[in-house]
């Protein structure tokens, strides 16, 4: 925990609980503040959302990268291969420099594992059942 009285302002992009759960929980629980960060959550749409207010000028520019490049946020999320390509190719394409500070699997963030021999085949079968 930091003892600094002045918090560093950071703008983080968030979308939905699937992709941003760790950031949303850390913000709600005050974990960023404990580490000396004053985090502003910037709600951003994914690149598949055509009606986003963050529409870039060029049709193939992605909303998150456009907002990051313009200084509208300090961090953004991409799938694993996309973020690696962006970190390597960004500066070569006159974009704001970026580096990878965390990497996690996008497709297997949540899982319920049941016995192969059991009769649980859908999450709905666990409704009103304590899990522990």
List the domain boundaries for the chain: 8-104
Model pLDDT, residue 102: 65
Model pLDDT, residue 47: 47
Structure tokens at 4: 């600094």
Long-range contacts (CB closer than 8 Å, 24 or more residues apart) made by 108-112: 109/18, 109/21, 110/18
Model pLDDT, residue 38: 96
Per-residue pLDDT of the chain (132 residues; tens, 9 = 90+): 555 479 999 988 887 777 788 889 999 999 999 999 999 998 876 545 545 555 555 555 667 777 777 787 777 766 666 777 777 777 777 887 877 766 665 555 567 778 888 888 888 888 998 876
């Amino acid at each position: 925990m930091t003892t600094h009285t002045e918090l560093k302002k950071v703008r983080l992009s968030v979308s939905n609980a699937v992709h941003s759960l760790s950031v949303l929980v850390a913000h709600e629980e005050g974990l960023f503040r404990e580490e000396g960060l004053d985090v502003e959550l910037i709600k951003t749409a994914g690149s598949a959302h055509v009606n986003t207010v963050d529409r870039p000028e060029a049709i193939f520019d992605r909303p998150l990268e456009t907002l990051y490049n313009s200084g509208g946020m300090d961090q953004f999320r991409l799938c694993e291969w996309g973020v690696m390509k962006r970190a390597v190719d960004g500066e070569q394409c006159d974009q704001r420099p970026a580096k990878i500070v965390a990497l996690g699997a996008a497709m297997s963030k949540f899982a319920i594992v049941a016995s192969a021999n059991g009769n649980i085949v859908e999450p709905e079968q666990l409704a009103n059942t304590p899990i522990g």
